[in-house]
């Protein structure tokens, strides 16, 4: 395979030197871009867009045409996996994602299959292959999945939820049933990510958006343990492969207190939200892993001058050049002005240039 024209993101994740701090944005393909909204309309709906490899490729590339981003991320959603497990996903404007068949008890859990990703999720693999070919080794492609715990919150609640009451009741009332649900979901996620790797992604990201809502012991037992299990099941290759080992980044929103344990999973990168200091975590982990983050997504509402100052503050908090991938601390909001994104990316590149 030909080498990447811009390997900065992968080099940072592997702990190699870089000319500047690489940057990408969680949810970089999405509603804040008018061209995304137009393509979604053309597709019919969000789910039609996910299931159309050509249009999924188009929206993956849209932010890269506007901004000099250092990575692309597959356009899809974490909820395609439970959909393929038979829960039947729909997405309604204003309400958010919903499942027709939520998982509420032991019988529901025992019925769950581990889908064959090339079959039931073949449209995602086709999108990966289409994007890989369109990128033509310009920047790396990040593939992703939800953590088993985060997927379980949607699977048990039947959609988004403020307090995750049903799924949290389940961990205390029926821990064995919850573990079985998380085991099956982990196997589904591992198979799904391995299929994305076979289809050509360059890096893996696992989104644990709701791990931070768990108590300390519950986080380790119901979220982190299953992410660790997935990391150990991935076909990442090794350092001696001509293209290098595929790096894995774990992002637990609200997970700053667990970084030592997250690093112990063998991941290469840890995503942090804006409530944690990058400098503090760097001191705790001593550059054993790469840190991704962590500008407050809301700071993009500010003026260009304030955005530059905020970028500088994040870079300064991290400190001397090292294992850092710049990002927001969570996904970009739908009403952010794309010009402000351009200011942020330019500031990261120019202020961090060695």
> What amino acid positions are annotated as catalytic residues?
27, 31, 40, 77, 154
Separation between Cα atoms, residue 346 and residue 33, nearest integer Å: 18
**DSSP letter, residue 159:** B
Q: From 76-84, 98-106, 114-122, 170-178, give the range in contact with ligand 1CP by CB under 6 A.
A: 76-84
Q: From 77-85, 187-195, 307-315, 342-350, give the range in contact with ligand 1CP by CB under 6 A.
A: 77-85
Nearest to 33 by CA among 346, 338, 299: 338
Contact 184, 114 (CB under 8 A): yes
Could you check whether the bond before residue 294 is cis, i.e. omega within 30 degrees of 0? yes
Least separation in angstroms between residue 18's CB and ligand 1CP is 22
Nearest to 140 by CA among 237, 23, 229: 23
Separation between Cα atoms, residue 328 and residue 299, nearest integer Å: 9
Of 18 and 60, nearer to ligand 1CP (C-beta) is: 60
Least separation in angstroms between residue 34's CB and ligand 1CP is 12
Separation between Cα atoms, residue 247 and residue 16, nearest integer Å: 13
Contact 263, 270 (CB under 8 A): yes
Of 26 and 231, nearer to ligand 1CP (C-beta) is: 26
Token match 């988004």: residue?
160
- How deeply is 135 buried, as exposed, middle or buried, from its count of CB atoms within 10 A (0-12, 13-18, 19+)? buried
With binding defined as CB under 6 A, does residue 96 bind ligand 1CP? yes
Of 15 and 158, nearer to ligand 1CP (C-beta) is: 158
Of 9 and 207, nearer to ligand 1CP (C-beta) is: 207
Least separation in angstroms between residue 27's CB and ligand 1CP is 4
Q: From 9-17, 24-32, 192-200, 255-263, give the range in contact with ligand 1CP by CB under 6 A.
A: 24-32
With binding defined as CB under 6 A, does residue 331 bind ligand 1CP? yes
Q: From 25-33, 117-125, 182-190, 212-220, give the range in contact with ligand 1CP by CB under 6 A.
A: 25-33
Of 10 and 74, nearer to ligand 1CP (C-beta) is: 74
With binding defined as CB under 6 A, does residue 327 bind ligand 1CP? no
With binding defined as CB under 6 A, does residue 29 bind ligand 1CP? yes
Q: From 7-15, 27-35, 231-239, 272-280, give the range in contact with ligand 1CP by CB under 6 A.
A: 27-35
Taking each helix axis from N to C end, the angle separating 148-157 and 165-173, rounded to the nearest 10 degrees, works out to 110
Token match 């774990």: residue?
250
With binding defined as CB under 6 A, does residue 46 bind ligand 1CP? yes
Could you check whether the bond before residue 42 is cis, i.e. omega within 30 degrees of 0? no
Least separation in angstroms between residue 85's CB and ligand 1CP is 15
Residues in the chain: 354
Contact 81, 115 (CB under 8 A): yes
With binding defined as CB under 6 A, does residue 73 bind ligand 1CP? yes
What residues numbered 135-174 form the site for ligand 1CP, per CB under 6 A?
Answer: 144, 160
Contact 70, 5 (CB under 8 A): no
Residue nearest to ligand 1CP (CB): 160
Supply 5's token pair.
């024209």
- Binding-residue total with ligand 1CP (CB under 6 A): 21
Q: How far is CA 304 from the centre of its chain?
A: 27
Among 7, 97, 143, 247, binds ligand 1CP (CB under 6 A): 97
Q: Give the interface with ligand 1CP as residue ranges (CB under 6 A).
A: 26-31, 40, 46, 73, 75, 77-79, 91, 96-97, 144, 160, 207, 209, 331
């Amino acid at each position: 395979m030909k080498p990447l024209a811009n390997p900065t993101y992968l080099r940072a994740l592997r702990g190699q030197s870089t000319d500047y701090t690489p940057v990408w944005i969680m949810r970089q393909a999405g509603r804040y871009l008018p061209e995304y909204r137009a393509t979604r309309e053309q597709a019919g709906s969000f789910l039609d867009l996910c299931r159309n490899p050509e249009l999924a490729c188009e929206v993956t590339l849209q932010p890269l045409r506007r901004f000099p981003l250092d990575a692309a991320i597959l356009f899809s959603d974490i909820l395609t996996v439970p959909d393929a497990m038979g829960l039947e996903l729909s997405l309604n404007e204003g309400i958010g994602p919903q499942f027709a068949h939520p998982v509420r008890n032991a019988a529901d859990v025992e019925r769950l299959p581990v889908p064959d990703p090339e079959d039931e999720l073949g449209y995602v693999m086709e999108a990966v292959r289409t994007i890989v070919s369109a990128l033509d080794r310009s920047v790396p492609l990040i593939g992703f999945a939800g953590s088993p715990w985060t997927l379980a919150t949607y699977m048990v609640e039947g959609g988004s939820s403020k307090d995750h009451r049903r799924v949290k009741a389940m961990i205390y009332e029926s821990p064995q049933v919850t573990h079985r649900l998380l085991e099956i979901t982990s196997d589904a996620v591992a198979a799904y990510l391995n299929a994305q790797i076979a289809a050509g992604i360059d890096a893996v990201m696992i989104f644990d958006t709701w791990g931070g809502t768990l108590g300390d012991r519950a986080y380790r037992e119901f979220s982190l343990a299953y992410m660790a299990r997935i990391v150990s099941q991935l076909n990442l290759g090794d350092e001696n492969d001509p293209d290098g080992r595929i790096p894995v980044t774990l992002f637990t929103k609200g997970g700053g207190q667990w970084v030592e344990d997250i690093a112990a999973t063998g991941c290469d990168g840890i995503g942090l939200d804006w409530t944690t200091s990058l400098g503090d975590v760097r001191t705790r982990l001593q550059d054993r892993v790469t840190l991704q983050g962590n500008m407050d997504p809301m700071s993009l509402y500010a003026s260009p001058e304030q955005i530059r100052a905020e970028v500088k503050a994040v870079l300064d908090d991290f400190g001397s050049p090292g294992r850092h991938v710049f990002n927001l601390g969570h996904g970009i909001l739908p009403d952010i002005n794309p010009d402000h994104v351009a200011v942020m990316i330019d500031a990261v590149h120019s202020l961090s240039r060695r």
